[in-house]
Amino acid sequence: MRYLRLILLPFSWIYAVVVFLRNLAYDFGLFKSKQFDLPVISVGNLAVGGAGKSPMTEYLVNLLKDKRRIAVLSRGYGRKTRGFRLVSADDVAALCGDEPLQFKRKFKDVTVAVCEKRVHGIEELCRDHELVVLDDAYQHRAVRPGLNILLFDYTRMKEPMLVLPAGNLREPYRGRKRADLIVVTKTPPVLLPEEREQLRRRIGPRSNQRLFFSYLRYGNLIALGDKEELPLISIKSNRTLVFLLTGIANPRPLLEELRKFTPHVKHYEYPDHHPFSRKNISKLAEDFSKAGAPDKLIVTTEKDAQRLLNPDIAELLTDLPVYYLPIRAEIHEPDKQNFDHLIENYVSEHLQHSRIH
């Protein structure tokens, strides 16, 4: 891997220069970046793949949904439609993307929309909402959010901070300077002060940036069809065999969590947002049927479950014990209250300022 990075490094330099010039054009106003009167919160990351954007977006929705008319706007990665679209809980992932569908099914009273042109999407939503949360929009410079939240994945903090293709960054590491709040996600539930300080030095936040740390809290296993819940502790056995199906960017934390309860995990790993085919699922179902373990079940993520609910796929899993494992982001104490107040104060002050003007 090290030698491959060296070979690809010249291409990364070219990519970095192109992205740097693009950002410079936005910084100096050569490319138009629109700011809106209503509060706009952007959640994003520098690296390709998952840094916990969906759990953080859901955290913000939970925090604000009972106080403000909130909308979530996403590009809708992986959908087969184009343009602005309001997401319905009855949609399939091909129409709107798996993450927006997950948001809508979890928060039925919250508006969820997709649009590849975020400026147009916000213009459609701002008439009936007080706040828009942008999912995965840190590199979408055409919008100037009022609050930029940048996420770093704890499990990947030791990797070289190189741009594509030698590394995993979508833009040079200096791009972190645009953030207002920085959150290191997926940390252990107990994070020692010494490790916090090491992470702080690694990131190097500016004096105007606030740094927070979060971890994932796992819920009960939920049956794909009837929503029956199964406590995760119930699979704690040396005899339980888990068939884990994932199509996410970084399944490592989930894999580690399941292995706390059983050493027998057979992982079917696919790329992020992978459109599961009948062949994929038929293979899983066949292997499951042949397995002789006394206790066995299929586990997937909540995001992947949205794609498994496609009727063509769901029929292959009928009568099989398929569960998804929901997660939620938690801000480490003693900083949680401060983090919540920063979010709430930004929204309140921005709305008040907009009404005055």
150-175 tens-digit pLDDT: 999 999 999 889 999 999 999 999 99
- How confident is residue 238, by pLDDT bands cut at 50, 70 and 90? confident
pLDDT of residue 50: 78
- How confident is residue 194, by pLDDT bands cut at 50, 70 and 90? very high
Q: For strands 229-230 and 221-223, give the pairing.
A: antiparallel
User: Does the pLDDT at position 1 exceed 80?
Assistant: no
CATH superfamily of 28-216+331-352: P-loop containing nucleotide triphosphate hydrolases (3.40.50.300)
- How confident is residue 287, by pLDDT bands cut at 50, 70 and 90? very high
- How confident is residue 212, by pLDDT bands cut at 50, 70 and 90? very high
Instruction: Give CA separation, 90 vs 79, 87, 165, 224, 307, in Å.
Output: 15, 8, 38, 15, 13
User: Does the pLDDT at position 353 exceed 70?
Assistant: no
Are 191 and 213 a contacting pair, CB within 8 Å? yes
Secondary element (H or E) of residue 327: strand 327-331
Residue pLDDT, tens place only, 14-63: 999 999 999 999 999 999 999 999 999 999 999 987 799 999 999 999 99
User: Does the pLDDT at position 66 exceed 70?
Assistant: yes
Select from 229, 224, 299 the least CA-distant residue to 261.
Answer: 299
pLDDT of residue 160: 87
Are 229 and 222 a contacting pair, CB within 8 Å? yes
Please tell me the number of Cα atoms within 13 Å of 319 on its side-chain side: 2
Distance of CA 202 to the CA centre of its chain: 22
Average pLDDT over residues 94-102: 96
Is 0.85 surpassed by the pTM of this model?
yes
Percent of the chain clearing pLDDT 90 (strictly above): 87
Higher local confidence (pLDDT), 7 or 295 = 295
- How confident is residue 351, by pLDDT bands cut at 50, 70 and 90? confident
Token code pair at residue 27 = 């910084």
Token code pair at residue 179 = 């953030």
pLDDT of residue 83: 97
| Class of domain 221-325 (CATH, top level) | alpha beta
Which of these ranges, 5-14, 59-68, 315-324, has the smallest mean pLDDT?
Answer: 5-14
What sign does the CA torsion over 108, 113, 119, 125 have? negative
User: Does the pLDDT at position 265 exceed 70?
Assistant: yes
Return the residue matching tokens 């993450």: 99
pLDDT of residue 322: 97
Which of these ranges, 6-10, 69-73, 161-165, 249-253, has the smallest mean pLDDT?
Answer: 6-10
Q: Side chain identity at 7, as an amino acid letter?
A: I
User: Does the pLDDT at position 2 exceed 70?
Assistant: no
- Distance (Å, whole) CA 63 – CA 59: 6
pLDDT of residue 188: 95
Token code pair at residue 240 = 């339980």
- How confident is residue 354, by pLDDT bands cut at 50, 70 and 90? low
User: Does the pLDDT at position 355 exceed 70?
Assistant: no
User: Would you list the domain boundaries of the chain?
Assistant: 28-216+331-352, 221-325
The rounded mean pLDDT for the chain is: 94
Instruction: Give CA separation, 19 vs 143, 148, 155, 307, 346, in Å.
Output: 16, 19, 25, 33, 29
